[in-house]
Chain A
Amino acid sequence: MRWPANTRALRALIRDPMGLMGLVLVTLFILMAVAAPILAPYDPLALDVRAKLQSPSLAHWLGTDQLGRDTLSRIIYGARTALTIALTAIGLAGSIGILLGLIAGYGPRWLDAALVLIFDALNSLPMMMFALAIITVLGPGTGTLILVVVLVSIPGYARLIRAQTLTLRSADFIVAEQAIGASTPRILLMHLLPNVFGPLCIVLSMDIPVVIMLEAGLSYLNLGVKPPTPSWGNILYDGYTAIRTSSTLVIAAGAPLVLATLGFTFLGEGLRDALDPRFTTARP
């Protein structure tokens, strides 16, 4: 039985135990983020100073923080914040990186040289200073955070795609496409992109948790997501300050971070193999 390409890739992903685990974890996080208002038992911003820093109980499954807010609700809403920022930033950076990488790798030499110069210049800026400079100019906030991630990530993605494209641009099947008269956009999008996307796929997936961590870090410095908006970084920070009284908060915010990292990494590796027909179809 043969399946159309998309179903086939999905089936291959599900057959791979690691890929399946990644898919399940990532789906859970996305569900959590989308259905946050339904899932969360409390308003994540509702204060209850009488019930601060409670241990887990039937009323508060994961206890409360120093302001008496329900931790479970804040974690669920935190998934929403984390995923929105990470997916938007990585998606944007990935798309721009692919485009620039393909142009640099397949285009004329002078354009390649110019683009590589820009990537190098961006890379040579110390990342933290660069991020702080942008935040200073534009002010902290979700939009600024996304912009910082996009600017910092593009060079890496573009370089990866460029390197892959350079090795494939003189491959026989690309010359064959030129010989039948395929246009440059067609060659780029239909023949090069599917073959260079695999390695990027896993890098993108593994960068999503990095962005979640970065968001947490900058939020801690008061340069990212502004409190009281629930974010895992904010919760983790609250947890550290209260760690002598209760460790529940740290564990409750740390666990989703670890699970998200694992989930996206497994999914990335699974996708890389599943998208390649050479791994998923056996010779008859």
Chain B
Amino acid sequence: MTLLSVQNLALDLPLRGGLLSAKRTLQIFADVSFTLNPGETLGLVGESGSGKTTLARALLGLTPTTYGTIHFDQTKRSTKADFAAMRATTAMMFQDAIASLSPRMTIGALLAEPLTIHGHPAPKTKIADMLALVGLPADFATRYPHELSGGQARRVGVARALVLNPKLVIADEPTAGLDVSVQGEILNLMTDLKTRLNLSYLIISHNLAMVRHVSDRIAVMYLGRLVEIGPTRETFARPLHPYSQSLIASEPLPDPRKRRQDLAIKGEIPSLLNRPKACVFQGRCPHVQPICRTDPPTLREISPARFVRCHFAQPTGALT
């Protein structure tokens, strides 16, 4: 039984053209399909411009989509009312924790708000409990967002996400801007709450080392396409898509004895306006063949639970 199931989701945004030119659209993402099980953490990784944040917002109905379906809790969600009904059981954590808190409200009012909106009582004891749950003292209820440190604002973000007892939490870069010594605190808190409250997480990040430790499965996104999905451990040990391979090989390792001698990937992610036809990775792929420029590859299951969007990927990780 899946909690979240996404099929062929796509988003095209209209581009403002001239009076006489044909109406053009900008493809943000397309052909996005994946599932998320109850109690599971899926890590969605990709570089800036890959469309991962927009996808996250689209999953909660905060951004419209042009094609495809979203099922949450066995129910199809497409209209505004569908998503509104879903909001009591889903929550989002934002990349900029402080900016995601309404600046003129106290932390207490911000924590009470989801309860009030969904018709629950919001007594002071409940607010204090939520603050205690994320390891903050009760007197934080009277503070304002700008008075918090980055780590404290993250904790408030976690508390606000969990106050309605959601089934799914989407966390966009949950450790962005945090020092490594604090990053662990937030991740450990999220892991602890996941087991206690039986949550499912979708964690979006460009930080591979972090995602690797917190997710059960990982999905790699490049220029609006999911290029690889698989169990985290196996994907990191043996990435199948050439982009995943170069992404993992680019991460600087904290060990001078393992210095990367040659560059895993050249060039940079193209602009959405210059999206390559067929395979989106063709321009940077070291294994590119003529077929990659003519036929778009599909996301195929290459070995059990491992999906990859490449004409030449092999279960061994080699490319032929």
In the complex they form, do A and B come into direct contact, defined as C-beta atoms under 8 angstroms apart?
yes
* Residues of A in contact with B (beta carbons under 8 Å apart): 2, 5, 171-173, 175-183, 186, 190-191, 194-195, 276-278, 281, 283-284
With beta carbons under 8 angstroms apart, the residue of B57, B88, B102, B164 that contacts A173 is B102
Contacts of B87 on A, CB cut-off 8 Å? 179-181
Stretch from B19-27, B93-101, B262-270 that touches the partner = B93-101
Majority SS at the chain A contact face: helix
Contacts of A278 on B, CB cut-off 8 Å? 103, 144, 146
- How far is it, in angstroms, between the C-alpha of A284 and the C-alpha of B94 when the chains are bound? 24
- How far is it, in angstroms, between the C-alpha of A110 and the C-alpha of B218 when the chains are bound? 41
- How far is it, in angstroms, between the C-alpha of A176 and the C-alpha of B87 when the chains are bound? 11
Check B91 for interface membership: any CB of A closer than 8 A: yes
Contact between B88 and A181, CB atoms less than 8 A apart: yes
Which of A179, A186, A277 has most chain B Cβ within 10 Å? Answer: A179
**Per-residue interface assignment for chain B, residues 123 to 160, with 1 indicating a CB less than 8 Å from any chain A CB and 0 otherwise:** 00000000000000000001010110000000000001
Contact between B142 and A2, CB atoms less than 8 A apart: yes
| Chain B minimum-CB-distance residue to A187 | B102
Contacts of A178 on B, CB cut-off 8 Å? 62
Contact between A173 and B103, CB atoms less than 8 A apart: yes
Contacts of B99 on A, CB cut-off 8 Å? 171-173
Also in contact, A180 and B146, with CB within 8 A (given A172-B99, A277-B103) = no
- How far is it, in angstroms, between the C-alpha of A117 and the C-alpha of B96 when the chains are bound? 36
Contact between A180 and B114, CB atoms less than 8 A apart: yes
Scan residues 10-66 of chain B and give those whose CB is less than 8 A from a CB of chain A: 57, 60, 62
| Chain B minimum-CB-distance residue to A183 | B117
User: Interface residue count for B (Cβ, 8 Å)?
Assistant: 30
Check B216 for interface membership: any CB of A closer than 8 A: no
Also in contact, A177 and B91, with CB within 8 A (given A2-B142, A186-B117, A281-B144) = no
Check B113 for interface membership: any CB of A closer than 8 A: yes
Check B213 for interface membership: any CB of A closer than 8 A: no
Contact between B102 and A191, CB atoms less than 8 A apart: yes
Contact between B114 and A176, CB atoms less than 8 A apart: no
Contact between B142 and A179, CB atoms less than 8 A apart: no
Contact between A175 and B146, CB atoms less than 8 A apart: no
Write the nearest CB–CB distance from A187 to chain B, whole angstroms: 9
Contacts of A281 on B, CB cut-off 8 Å? 144, 146-147
Also in contact, A180 and B117, with CB within 8 A (given A171-B99, A172-B94, A194-B104) = yes
Contact between A195 and B103, CB atoms less than 8 A apart: yes
Contacts of B105 on A, CB cut-off 8 Å? 190-191
Contacts of A182 on B, CB cut-off 8 Å? 113, 117
Write the nearest CB–CB distance from B71 to chain A, whole angstroms: 19
Contact between A173 and B144, CB atoms less than 8 A apart: no
Scan residues 188-220 of chain B and give those whose CB is less than 8 A from a CB of chain A: none
Write the nearest CB–CB distance from B192 to chain A, whole angstroms: 23
Name 13 extra pairs, CB < 8 A, besides A181-B87, A182-B113, A195-B102: A172-B96, A172-B100, A175-B62, A179-B90, A180-B91, A180-B113, A180-B160, A182-B117, A191-B102, A277-B104, A283-B146, A283-B147, A284-B147
Contact between B117 and A175, CB atoms less than 8 A apart: no
- How far is it, in angstroms, between the C-alpha of A182 and the C-alpha of B94 when the chains are bound? 16
Q: Lowest 5 CB-CB distances: which A-B pairs, in order?
A: A181-B87, A172-B100, A172-B99, A176-B100, A179-B92
